[in-house]
Amino acid sequence: MDVQNIVDAVSQKAGLDQATTEKVVGIIFSVLEHEAEGTTLSSFFAKIPGADGLAQKYDVMAPGAASGGGLLSSLQGALGGVLGAKTGALVNGVAALEASGLSMAQIRQAGTTLVQQAETAAGPELTNEVLNSVPSLKGHLGL
C-alpha cells in the first residue's frame, strides 16, 4: 500500500476532497518526520512508498507553513524557539491542520483513518511505536 492508497481511503472515509486529504496526511506525516526521528520512522516510511515525499511537500517547519502570519504565527515562532524544534513541529502541524478549514471532528476522522491505513501498510506494532514517540499528536488526533 502506497501513500496514494492511504490518501484515497482517508478521503473516502472522512468525506474530504483529494487535495484537502493529501494536505492533512502530508501534515501528519511531516510532524512524524520531525518528531519521531530514527530507525523506527525510517522503517515506517519504507513500508509506505511516497510517505516521506508527502511529508516533505507539506513540511510543517518550512517558513510560513502553518499560517499566513499574525498573532498565531508569532506564538508558533516563540514556542518553537523556546521549546525546541520538535515541539515547534507539533505546534506548527496542529496549527496547519486547524488552518486547513476542517472541523476538529473531521481532523480526528482523518487521523483515525490514517492510522488504520498505516497499520495495514506498516503493521500495527511499527505504527504504534512511531505514534507512541509523539504522544501529543495522538491526543490532537483523538487516538
| Residue pLDDT, tens place only, 67-120 | 444 444 444 444 444 444 455 888 889 889 888 888 888 999 999 999 999 999
pLDDT reported for residue 48: 97
pLDDT reported for residue 98: 85
* For helices 18-35 and 104-122, angle between their N-to-C axes, nearest 10 degrees: 70
Distance CA 66, CA 43 (A): 27
The model's pTM is 0.84
Q: What is the chain's mean pLDDT, rounded?
A: 84
Q: Quick one: cell of 7? A: 490518501
Share of the chain above pLDDT 90, in %: 55
pLDDT reported for residue 64: 66
Mean pLDDT of 60-66: 76
Mean pLDDT of 14-40: 91
**Residue ranges per structural domain of the chain:** 3-140
Mean pLDDT of 120-143: 88
Over 60: is that where the pLDDT of 39 sits? yes
pLDDT reported for residue 17: 95
User: What does the CA dihedral 59, 44, 12, 111 come to, rounded to 10 degrees?
Assistant: -70
Over 70: is that where the pLDDT of 59 sits? yes
